[in-house]
Amino acid sequence: MIAHLINTDVGGRGILRLYLDYRRENFNFLHNSATMLLNNFKRVLIVTGFPIPPADIPETDGPPGALAVALAVEKLGGRADILTYPEIRGALTEFWDSFVERPRISEYSLVIAIETPGKSSDGMHYSMSGLEIKREALDGVVLEARRRGIPTIGIGDGGNEAGMGKVRELVVRYIPQGEKIASVVETDELITSAVSNWGAYGLVAEASMLTGENLLGDFDEVGIVKALAEAGIIDGVTKRADVSVDGIDMEVHSMIMKFLKAIVEQRVKDKLKLEL
């Protein structure tokens, strides 16, 4: 149910057909990702930030999801660091204080990439519209983690993100300009979603159901997006500092979050009943 919910293609960008094919071959992708998180949460590096050309200003999709995962890791008893762009870091300091600029990958037990560009087959990084991203990309930490055998999870919604190299053929098949923009950067596990933030929330929700603990808690997505917009972080679709994500009103995002929290709360209650 959660996998279906987070892949609801409200923006009509093509991820639904990709997801359906992906899930046929990887039915338990969300469960497997949550299990990987729960088995490796002691020291987690979360990478996020997607610069939108031509100005290469980061967007509001990704950072809220990264924060939700970081808070969940903390609740589990682990430690999470966030690697992102300076303006995102500045906007999130009121919500989180553990950021890194040059992480030592060997020190981490898990690396999670949430909505950050992954290089394409020509070695460049592209937006969904096919524009080149000229700002420094952060996907190198994913590649290094892979080389070192450190577990990795990718979360993406358009095919051009780190991790989506795992389904490159599907990106080419279903996503406009897929041949050009498709990422070749793979991760061990991959979560597809219609909005990458939703994929991160889905990961936390799935982990909550496995542990019986509500790891989403009172997470305030609207407040976080407002802080990002006030700092000049833009909606990746409108390209303005709007209080929205991927051109979708916050009312819709809030309903997705409300539904996820309701699913988790019901599962936690059911688990408690079984234990009585």
- pLDDT beyond 60 at 147: yes
Q: Is the pLDDT of residue 98 over 70?
A: yes
Q: What is the pLDDT of residue 13?
A: 80
What is the bridge-based pairing of β-strands 110-114 and 99-100? unpaired
Q: Would you say residue 267 has pLDDT above 90?
A: no
Position 47 scores a pLDDT of 98
Give the model's pLDDT for residue 272. Answer: 60
Residues 6+ apart with CB under 8 A from 267: 208, 209, 212
**Measured CA distances, 139 to 74, 84, 144, 171, 219 (Å):** 24, 11, 9, 18, 27
Alpha carbons within 13 angstroms on the beta-carbon side of residue 192 total 31
Is 40 strand, coil or helix? coil
Structural Rg of the chain based on CA atoms: 17
